[in-house]
Structure 1
């Protein structure tokens, strides 16, 4: 009898194990999080991947993907712990994205494993495996520019977003000759094979740059930097007058790829760069940062499915002495929105400040935090700002761990919980050379800013400083940042 009970008990345990396994399998979900608010309670970041550039610096070394330790309990905190050099020279690694993200959360077969790293200059797209060893990503595949050009005519790849279908969408800023009129959207399949163009024939925008889609509103909106033939040579104001830079947003049907509407932002919206919808997928509003005019423009849906726009935040240019122009724009080059859609953060690359705005009322953003992390008008610079009374002044920028802060704040990334903002300072090697030549000599750095998410405020963390000027192969330029588990600028919810 005892034996029978034992067998019965064993069978019950085994049945329980099978049931538990079946329950887990039935409830398995895809990558990311079900909602943006769920993502806010995700694990604290411990690693961050940073694209680093030697292209254009005079150092004949390949660009690389750096892994930085951001775990404050680690002995290698705020250090580069791994470097993945790409196999070619002259790439200019720029923005990156994931093979799958929260848009694939409903697909149990999807996995956030590969980081997609387009090269803005060479046109190559690198695929890095971050799963096998998250601390030491390995090169998985190279999508060669020749194949992309042959099959699509596209070049100068920029932004990469994963799609719920498993495909990947990459914006491309021009054709192989750098003409903006040759730009469009590259579609890759889940194995990173070139499928063709995403947009329908005849529906390519005049310029390209960033994009974001909001499936519940069946809409994708893209922005416009300029013609690669112009911006790759450095910034020339005459190129703006000659129509070589953008001032439009392009509204597409999603996922159909039909250009439905073009929004002319006019003289208040020159060089619209990064674009983000609010994270809540039911919302029909978002923002775009217009670099040259230093305005944050809000776009929103009208009754009847058309879209409109208005200036939401303006950064006034500063009257200056000893600079190339009599007035200096802030130059908003990057921004992001916290996952709860409460705060918007942006940088002024030339002025040197990082700002925090409460956007709980998107029509009326309120400045709640501001900190200076560099810029052209910091104390010790030959450039002076001039007030209306004729008096001159400069911004007080602190040193961090004995380092004078170089360049200006450029790319930013926010922790999932919204409490830490990471900042790098390289925009694009040619523009770095033009506006911050010391960056090429001394290299980039990376900072962490502590964020007050209750009342609002920003403060530089004095314990965190990553010096890309001390890299083994010489000073490098650090640009975009990604966490292994996803973040608020790569994940889109459906």
Structure 2
């Protein structure tokens, strides 16, 4: 699956000098004070998309594509640049920025570098988008050996910037592909390996995505599976063998202590993308369970613990000549509109994108 990051054109020479380029350039640092303020910002004029060759039989390096989103440009909707990685067999997956709205209020922070974890090779590429936003350049490669030596982690997946200027990356296992070695990697602002984020002995059973909500002092992560299982292609038997997850992990933020594990059961097999509502005062969010094809809402209870419920179910399709008589939708990525009104998710196998009104998060329509 390719992922994308957005970048707007330069607002002005002044905005670039005080906060870098893009829609997140301000004298108060990157990002916006509120989600609603972000909605009133300038539209993006560029998008960066990771493109992979894994599984195609072609021994070519993955690349980062730059696509023109300016409707007034002669190259609108076209790929205007491709940046190949220096190695093959990486499988670029998710992407993230070195700084974002978490750093709003810090005028020294600049949203400049795109962080590209490589799921299979365990490399992490750092891409400079400031020198030439239309043709970004490779800035640094965080080497797998350095990550493994200092943390024991491998198979990096999701990266998020922190208010401290650090980068946090979920890693799905150890170098041998065992899920028991998974956890969260910390890089400093210069992209040097600092160590693990979670406290010793507080690693989850499986790793994948994560999202933190500082006002509720909570981080929630999801559970895909063991790298030794998924790197060879999906095998349904591995689910029964216990090599894939069905839990959400609730951590204290920023302490890194595993406080609670939510078992989603058979209605929450392979929970992947995890999103809190954008309103930082809200104590609710969603996770898409891929194999069960359910959207699960998680929320804080009146007692202060966390609970979950299925709020959207995608019905399977009857098929022939497939691994099962019925094909699930396989919910993969999803996003929530900045005003928290709509949720959009991808039914990867069914081939459609669905929109739901979530103004009442308990009853999406």
TM-score range with shorter-chain normalisation? over 0.9
Structure 2 equivalent of residue 281 of structure 1: 280
Q: Which residue of 2 aligns with 1:117?
A: 116
Aligned to 1:351: 350
Matches within 5 A, 1:287-298: 287-298=286-297
Equivalent residue number for residue 36 of structure 1: 35
- Could you tell me which residue of structure 2 aligns to residue 68 of structure 1? 67
> How far, CA to CA, are the matches of 1:241 and 1:56 in structure 2?
25
Distance 2:289 2:354 in 1: 15
Aligned to 1:158: 157
- Tell me the residue number matched to 1:266: 265
1:212 aligns with 2:192: no
SS at match of 1:240: helix
Once the two structures are TM-superposed, the CA of residue 353 in structure 1 deviates from its matched residue by 1.3
Partner in structure 2 of residue 98 of structure 1: 97
Cα displacement string for residues 429-477 of structure 1 (whole angstroms, at most 9, x for unaligned residues): xxxxxxxxxxxxxxxxxxxxxxxxxxxxxxxxxxxxxxxxxxxxxxxxx
CA distance in 1, matches of 2:45, 2:176: 41
Which moves more between the two structures, 191-200 or 48-57?
A: 48-57
C-alpha contact 1:61 1:89 (8 A) present in aligned 2 = yes
Deviations 1:389-420 (A, max 9, x none): xxxxxxxxxxxxxxxxxxxxxxxxxxxxxxxx
CA drift at 1:58 = 1.9
Q: 1:350 offset after TM fit, Å?
A: 0.8
C-alpha deviations, 1:365-407, integer Å up to 9, x for none?
A: 00xxxxxxxxxxxxxxxxxxxxxxxxxxxxxxxxxxxxxxxxx
Q: What do the CA deviations read for 1:69-115 (whole angstroms, capped 9, x no partner)?
A: 11121111111101111111111111100000001001111000000
Which runs of 4 or more aligned residues in structure 1 lie more than 6 Å from their structure 2 counterparts after TM superposition? none
Partner of 2:143: 144
Provide the C-alpha distance between the structure 2 equivalents of 1:235 and 1:32, rounded to a whole number of angstroms: 38
User: Aligned partners of 1:169, 1:151: CA distance in 2, in Å?
Assistant: 15
For 1:74-473, list aligned pairs within 5 A. Answer: 74-366=73-365
Q: How many angstroms apart in 2 are the aligned matches of 1:179 and 1:144?
A: 19
Shift of 1:325: 1.3
Shift of 1:55: 3.0
Aligned with 1:321: secondary structure?
coil
Give the SS at the match of 2:38: helix
Which residue number in structure 1 is paired with residue 15 of structure 2?
none
Aligned equivalents of 2:314, 2:172: Cα separation in 1: 27
Deviation of 1:322 (Å): 3.0
CA distance in 2, matches of 1:156, 1:147: 13
TM-score (norm 1): 0.68
Shift of 1:324: 2.4
Question: What is the CA-CA distance between 1:304 and the residue it aligns to?
Answer: 2.7
- From the two aligned structures, give the one with the greater helix fraction: 1
Contact 1:91/1:121 (<8 A) preserved: yes
Alpha-carbon distance, 1:305 to partner: 1.8
Does the aligned pair in 2 maintain the 1:36–1:280 contact within 8 Å? Answer: yes
